[in-house]
Chains A and B, each alone.
Chain A
């Protein structure tokens, strides 16, 4: 099994040209190595999400691209030109900060106009562009307000407008929705996605929330301890995780450990025919892939097993079953809601749903 990092990073999802190249970038703070020789490319116009736990290095990478930190080694190139030796204020990159960082002593209008003013944009041009930006984020009526009087969601929009009005080549978003409550978050997610489609600017988005990543991104780059674990479009990364870590981080999964020998794979109570070479094997099996045997199809090759239902967690449209297969093997299955179950049942899943992963 090839290492996940070998998945070519230069596969821009939209097939466009490459805008940003991160080449072997490492970053350490004192003894602490936060990024380890990271390489990835971002295509022009794409919505790429850096996903990972805290400490994975995603925010550090963002700050390197913004220019607030310098790489310890490696290079960053944008649009064919070296970027990492350009000071932050000269880069055609703008940032939406996690806590917005709006200037409290300036009005909304002055906040948005700030970037234009410091670069001596002609006065008559500023007015129009500011209006346009505010309209885009639906904050046109708030031009004279002070940031202190705005709600979190409103501040967030102003922060967006302030960044976008400068027409950057790349927009960086540092967990911008994490400070919002759940409902507002979902609303802003769809607005953000629509906005990105509309303006066509490349977005580099940082989050630790995998659902958010899957909802918004053209591609997800999963970071783990400073290295790139896997980079792929959401559907691919979900359906074909390369490693156990990826499989567990994005969505839920059952990890099946076992052995392959002479064409037969055995993972605890589960046995099936496969073409795997002899040796230890590890598979990822999503809970929704497991069904009650009575519901399973009879056409595709399936694996059947028996187990006792230990717990049943009702979730409205579906239920999560905890199945005890004996010999300390517990599997989780997600089935459509069908009333309380108990005792032993037979279950099944399609062989093709078991995805081989590396550690």
Chain B
């Protein structure tokens, strides 16, 4: 085989691969593009091509109080979940990194279980627990569900951040006379700043979008995904396209920020979140 032939072969192979990759990209993005396009379509969803541009659906959306109540509920639950998950996740990460205790291996698996188990199992388990202790279903139970399940995300991220941290810095701090408590606030926490922000953003996003666990823990007040879900059961309206487009826009913004924070330094690689405990 002459090098000319192999080069031509390699080139055609590269072309096929590139085309295939483009196709996969298209598969991933087209549905979303369609969704956005039809949110501006006067004749609603369906049919092809979309013909008449309108902002009516957005107008209708902004006047829809039920939706905005749900948005507020989701924000409250998400914010609270971030605080809970980060606090317990940080402690868990420190414990996994530094302490040894009986049942540590089990603890590690247990903390990470909600990440890999289908949401329905975690959701139902917590439902049974709520019934068992006589806790009525409400945003509180939703918050408990989100917060508990998302500890896994915080733990993974913060553990990776701890591993990347230079241990000698904490020793240096003690060496210079700082107490362990001072060392934690002045040295450990600042070093984890990026990890904390990245984890927080991710937990917030996941909580805002959470359906499976929420489905079984919801009371009278709806979160946004559940509100949308309820409407979907009644039928498709382009108003849902509109809110979906808005959700998409916000998600994109959040995730771009998250990525920038992540790759700026300390913290796990985005792929690590899917790595085994």
Whether A and B touch directly in their complex, counting CB atoms under 8 A apart, is answered as: yes
Nearest neighbor of A121 in chain B, beta-carbon distance? B177
Decide yes or no: A66 and B178 within 8 Å by CB, A99-B168, A105-B191 being known contacts: no
Tell whether A103 pairs with B175 under 8 Å between CB atoms, given A89-B180, A97-B168: no
In the complex, the answer to whether B182 meets A118 with C-beta atoms within 8 Å is: yes
Q: Contact at B180–A95, with CB atoms within 8 Å?
A: no
- Among B168, B177, B179, B191, contact of A115 (Cβ-Cβ < 8 Å): B177
Residue among B166, B173, B174, B179 making CB contact with A67, cutoff 8 Å:
B174
Contact of A101 with B171 in the complex, beta carbons under 8 Å: yes
Contact present for B177 and A103 (CB under 8 Å) = no
Interface positions, chain B 157-196, Cβ under 8 Å from A, are 166, 168-169, 171-180, 182-183, 186-187, 190-191, 193
Cα of A67 to Cα of B174 in the assembled complex, Å: 9
A88 to B175, CA, bound (A): 6
- Shortest Cβ gap from B249 to chain A (Å): 33
Given A118-B182, A118-B186, residue A101 in contact with residue B176 (CB < 8 A)? no
Contacts of B178 in A (CB 8 A): 89, 114-115, 118
Question: Roughly how many angstroms separate A304 CA and B266 CA in the complex, as a whole number?
Answer: 67
> Which B residues from 104 to 143 make CB contacts under 8 A with A?
none
What 0/1 pattern do residues 20 to 48 of A give for CB contact below 8 A with B?
A: 00000000000000000000000000000
Q: Is the CB of A95 within 8 A of B175?
A: yes
B173 lies within 8 A of A114 (CB)? yes
State whether A101 touches B182 (Cβ < 8 A): no
- Give the distance to chain B from A318, nearest Cβ to Cβ, in Å: 41
A99 to B183, CA, bound (A): 19
Q: Identify the interface centre among B172, B183, B187: most chain A CB within 10 Å of its CB.
A: B172
User: Does B176 lie within 8 Å of A114, measured CB to CB?
Assistant: yes
Q: Chain A contacts of B171 at CB under 8 A?
A: 66, 68, 88, 95, 97, 101
Interface size on A, residues (CB 8 A): 25
When C-beta atoms are compared, the residue in chain A nearest to B169 turns out to be A101
Q: Is A109 in the interface zone, CB < 8 Å from B?
A: no
A65-105 interface (Cβ within 8 A of B): 66-68, 87-90, 93-95, 97-99, 101-105
In the complex where A88-B174, A118-B186 touch, is A101 in contact with B179 (Cβ < 8 A)?
no
CB within 8 Å of B: which A143-166 residues: 162-163, 166
A338 is an interface residue with CB less than 8 A from chain B? no
Kindly list chain A residues whose C-beta atoms are within 8 Å of the C-beta of B179. 89, 118
Across the interface, which residues of A come within 8 angstroms of B191, CB to CB? Answer: 104-105
- Given the interface pairs A88-B175, A115-B176, A166-B177, the reply to whether A105 lies near B168 with Cβ below 8 Å is no
**Residue A119 at the chain B interface, CB threshold 8 Å:** yes
CB-defined contacts of A90 to chain B, threshold 8 Å: 177
Complex CA–CA separation, A88 to B168 (angstroms): 13
Closest CB of chain A to B161's CB: distance in Å? 14
Knowing A94-B176, A118-B177, the reply to whether A103 touches B182 (Cβ < 8 A) is no
CA A98 – CA B172 in complex, angstroms? 11
Query: How far apart are B8's CB and chain A's nearest CB, in angstroms?
Result: 48
A89 partner, pick from B177, B187, B190, beta carbons under 8 A: B177
Q: Which residues of A contact B177 (CB under 8 A)?
A: 89-90, 115, 118-119, 166
Q: Complex Cα distance A93/B176, Å? A: 8
Chain A contacts of B193 at CB under 8 A?
A: 105
Most buried by B among A90, A101, A115: A101
A85 CB to nearest chain B CB (Å): 16
CB pair B174–A105 under 8 Å, yes or no, is no
B172 close to A95 (CB less than 8 A): yes
Give the complex CA separation of A77 and B174 in angstroms. Answer: 20
Asked whether, in the complex, the Cβ of A105 is within 8 Å of the Cβ of B190, the reply is yes
Q: A93–B172 Cα gap in the complex (Å)? A: 11
What chain A residues lie within 8 Å of B183 (beta carbons)?
89
Give bound CA distance, A23 to B182, whole Å. Answer: 32
Bitwise, A239-281 to B at CB < 8 A (1) or not (0) is 0000000000000000000000000000000000000000000
**A118-B168 contact in complex given A103-B187, A105-B190, C-beta closer than 8 Å:** no
* Cα–Cα, bound, A89→B179 (Å): 6
Q: Judging by beta carbons under 8 Å apart, are B166 and A66 in contact?
A: no
With contact pairs A89-B177, A105-B190 given, residues A97 and B182 touching in the complex (Cβ less than 8 Å): no
- Interface positions, chain A 99-130, Cβ under 8 Å from B, are 99, 101-105, 114-115, 118-119
What is A's interface to B at a CB cutoff of 8 Å?
66-68, 87-90, 93-95, 97-99, 101-105, 114-115, 118-119, 162-163, 166
Q: Can you name 20 A-B residue pairings with CB atoms under 8 Å?
A: A88-B171, A88-B174, A89-B173, A89-B183, A93-B175, A94-B175, A94-B176, A95-B171, A95-B172, A97-B168, A101-B171, A101-B172, A103-B172, A104-B191, A105-B190, A114-B178, A118-B178, A119-B177, A163-B175, A166-B177
- What 6 A-B pairs are tightest by C-beta distance, nearest first? A115-B176, A101-B168, A118-B178, A101-B172, A89-B174, A88-B174
B residues bordering A, Cβ < 8 Å? 166, 168-169, 171-180, 182-183, 186-187, 190-191, 193
New A-B contacts (13) at CB < 8 Å, excluding given A101-B172, A118-B177: A67-B175, A89-B175, A94-B175, A97-B168, A97-B171, A101-B169, A102-B169, A103-B173, A105-B190, A118-B173, A118-B178, A118-B186, A163-B175
